[in-house]
Amino acid sequence: MPALTKNSKSELQTVLKDRYKINKNISEELTADECRQLLSMLSQGNVSLEKILAAYADKNSALGKNNALYGRQRSNAEKKAIQLQQEYEELQKKNSQPSNLKAAVSSEHQRVVEQVGTLEEQKLQLSSKVKQLDASNNELVKVNNELRQDNRRLKDLEKEREELQKKNSQLSKLKTTVPSERQQLVKQVKTLEEQKLQLSSKVKQLDASNNELVKVNHELKKDNKRLTDLVDAIRLNLSKNVKDILRSEESEIKKVLAKIYQSLLG
């Protein structure tokens, strides 16, 4: 790999993205030196590290797309709820005009039933998406646990490094005739230290991402509860208004509204 000592942080992030699919929003927390060190480690053929980072990058991209999709669906559901409320208010206004009551109630009832059905479908879809988000979150937790296991293995490697340092000290005292081997051991020690620092940083980033996903999941569940309460309130108000109209003296209107009311009750 060509030397990257003079490249800026942005250029290093671009190299990470092009070669290893590590998006800039992931590498943004790293300094230029840390980006350079990570590139150096990956260029040395560390397969485990490459797999871990690739899995995290893929999962981060998928979660980002899911969050955007959930946001759009929630916005559409809220717009539908507002539209349904407006149509309900229009229905209340039309209820005050007895001459057009029969046709208006029948038409508006049909529209309200259709809107409620649509809103129920969106509610089910949103619940399904929340389950998918939970599953994705569980996968991310699994990846996080694997990283922690790797961190424990790095601690074992740290012990091995200390042992290597002791052996290196003994070799220096004995003035061995293999200085090249000593230099190689020193390089391995430095590489292990860099890997430990990089993986510790990634574990912290994964913990932060996990907390953010839990928070988003909680907000989606709260929004789902509010939409359910709104639909129930609209149904309750419509039932009350129909009951009030049934108390009127116009028998023909009462028959029509009685059928509508029975259909609402299911």
HEC string for 152-174: HHHHHHHHHHHHHHHHHHHHHHH
Report residue 122 CA to chain centroid gap: 19
Q: Tell me the domains of the chain and their CATH numbers.
A: 46-91+106-234 (1.10.287)
What amino acid is encoded at 215 in this protein? K
- 77 and 126 in contact (C-beta within 8 Å)? yes
Q: What's the confidence (pLDDT) of residue 27? A: 85
What amino acid is encoded at 136 in this protein? S
Q: Which comes out higher in pLDDT, residue 264 or 58?
A: 58
- Tens-digit pLDDT profile for residues 116-136: 788 888 888 877 886 887 887
| Stretch 228-254: mean pLDDT | 74
- Tens-digit pLDDT profile for residues 34-47: 888 888 888 887 77
Rounded Cα distance between 138 and 56, Å, is 13
pTM comes to 0.28
Rounded Cα distance between 81 and 116, Å, is 9
| Stretch 101-121: mean pLDDT | 77
- Tens-digit pLDDT profile for residues 62-98: 777 787 787 888 888 888 888 888 888 888 777 665 5
